[in-house]
Amino acid sequence: MFSNYRNKRTRLYAITVITLLSILYLFNQRADPLSFDSGRLEEYMNNGKHRKYTDISSFDWRGAPVQNTPQSFATIPTGKPLALPRIQYDFVAEKKPERVKRDKRQLAVRHAFQRAWNSYKKSAWMRDELKPISNEGKDTFGGWAATLVDALDTLWIMGLKEEFNEAVAAVATIDFGKTSSTTISVFETTIRYLGGLISAYDLSHEKVLLEKAVQVGEMLYRAFDTPNRMPIDRLDVEKAKLGEGFTADSHISIAGIGSLTMEFVRLAQLTGDAKYYDAVARVTDLLDRAQNTTKLPGMFPIWMNAYDQDLSYDSSFTLGAMADSVFEYFPKTFALLGGLEPVYKKLYENSMDMVDKHMLFRPMVPGREDILISGNVRAESANNTELDPEGQHLTCFVGGMFALGGRLFENKHHVDIGAKLAKGCIYTYKALPTGIMPEIFLMLPCASREACPWEQKKWEAEVIKRTHPVYLDDVNRAVKTERLPVGFTAIRDRKYILRPEAIESVFVLYRTTGQKEYQEAAWDMFTAVMNATSTAFANAAILDVSVIDEYPMQDDSMESFWLAETLKYFYLVFSPPDLISLDEFVLNTEAHPFRRPK
């Protein structure tokens, strides 16, 4: 109904209609089955008036039939949450010069967010994304205003309450009953839309956000409507309305099936509806049963057969694309459930044992820095593995995962691994001329993690191996033409698409160790990213981080995670440590904080 707020007249019209609908709602108010915590309700009202909205969606997903209804539902663990170990460092009061410097940096990040947000609001309002060069909108994730929903909690966290209230009013008009796409990604819709709505509700307690989260959750619940209750990768929205059911995919990524846990668990906690927990608990049960049946027992491969519930056929393993968030969710879901479901601890510890043994490598670099990179593995068995020393920007989240898991499960070795992985990403940022790491690159693994002297000839031979026969044996020409920093043996993808994973780990390592060096690294990363990505309107992906130009080659794209994740993590690393404390919240893979139970 309100698809575009491009001018004052349209905005005034929208506000008038919303006001009239609110008045009608007050006259026809019915008992609400969703309960509130009165203390947090008073907190979120913040001396303001409790706004009322009514849902004008064209379809109520709660009424969509389900073909494959479970005979019984797994119940969410009950009881008082365990007293879990402290995750955050015990910070002391900062001195005034430190606070002044931190405040200035935090303000710079906030300004970058406001600039991009204002451009989105002016030129792409209610569209999924802003095109930051042409300054217009586009739809990429169902046409439900992905950037708006994804950025809700960032608005709240940054104290932009007027903008937040306006965004909530706009969210109330989103019609999740229809879409601009034939099919939607279940994974992306879960982490961006469902996660964004739940998080914004957890922070503000605006009731309409939970109502919308229920609608999105009900729609996504239909993805589990298969005979074996395994979710499908892409949901046909119109077919889902008919309730005829689907067939589980015979080929689906492990992330696509296993990264829905946090969102559905939190929705079950907020609504008291066991079916949401049951949906993901069945996937967790499968992972638990199958963990030692894979070609690298303990670790999960990239691809699986959900139809046959088979994880034994794929020999490719990674913490990068198509797999990443399933591992991240193990310790986070454990915390979200208050430690009352131990299977997530088992899944984390067993898989990370294999990652530590087979996947992490120390790269050979001239300064002999003691850093780690997460690579890929081909495995036919635990005794027949081959490391592919490919680093991905995506895998930079792993440092934060190890640090958080190490603190949560009191494993100092994992905290140390997390620090070395985070510093590995910091190193690869600094190594490129733009100060930003590439999307995908290769380095030369050391024979040992304990000692790794620099060997120039060995590095040169590896460069020739990766580039032959294009440059024959001319290593100097290969290094120059391929623009390889010393220590890098190839760059497979030179883009930077405004990704958050490196700053995510830097943020977690700062909050878990208290070491100021991570704040300094964060500032270097922020300034480098802003220098390369800034456009006349917002920030754009760049095509080549290995080239310094006055006007870098930019792509007309600004994914919603720039506002939802990247700038949020930059902001939080320069915030007081009690803002979104890791002892009070767990953040999903789209950086949406969910409140931990007490």
* Mean of pLDDT values over 370-391: 97
Locate 163 and state its tokens.
């903008």
Q: Looking at 202, 439, 482, 504, which residue is catalytic?
A: 439
- Asked if residue 17 belongs to a domain, the reply is no
Q: Catalytic pick from 324, 341, 559, 565?
A: 324
Query: Who's near 436: CB < 8 A, 6+ residues apart?
Result: 429, 496, 525, 528, 529, 532, 542, 545
In this predicted structure, what is the pLDDT of residue 150? 98
Within-domain flag for 584: yes
Output the six-digit token pair for 176.
């999740």
The residue annotated as part of the active site, out of 136, 188, 524, 556, is 188
pLDDT tens readout for residues 78-96: 999 999 999 999 999 999 9
Cβ atoms 204, 156 nearer than 8 A: yes
CB 87 within 8 A of CB 408: yes
DSSP state for residue 28 in the 8-state scheme:
T
| Mean pLDDT in residue range 570-598 | 98
Share above pLDDT 70 across residues of the chain, in percent, rounded to a whole number:
91
Q: Average pLDDT for residues 227-238, to the nearest whole number?
A: 98
**In whole angstroms, how far apart are CA 463 and each of 361, 439, 468, 486?**
18, 19, 8, 10
244 annotated active-site:
no
Amino acid residing at 69: T
Is 98 one of the catalytic residues? no
Would you say residue 195 lies in a domain? yes
Owning domain of residue 499? 32-595
User: Is 80 within a domain?
Assistant: yes
Name the pLDDT band for 468 (thresholds 50, 70, 90).
Answer: confident
Residue 2 lies in a domain: no
Of 242-256, 389-403, 476-490, 538-552, the range with the lowest mean pLDDT is 538-552
Domains in the chain, number: 1
Domain CATH number, residue 227: 1.50.10.10
Catalytic residue among 501, 544, 565, 590: 501
349 is catalytic: no
pLDDT, position 11: 36
Assess whether 139 carries a catalytic annotation: no
In the predicted model, is pLDDT for residue 272 greater than 90? yes
Q: Could you tell me if 532 and 495 are in contact, meaning their C-beta atoms sit under 8 angstroms apart?
A: no
The pLDDT score that the predictor gives to residue 550 is 73
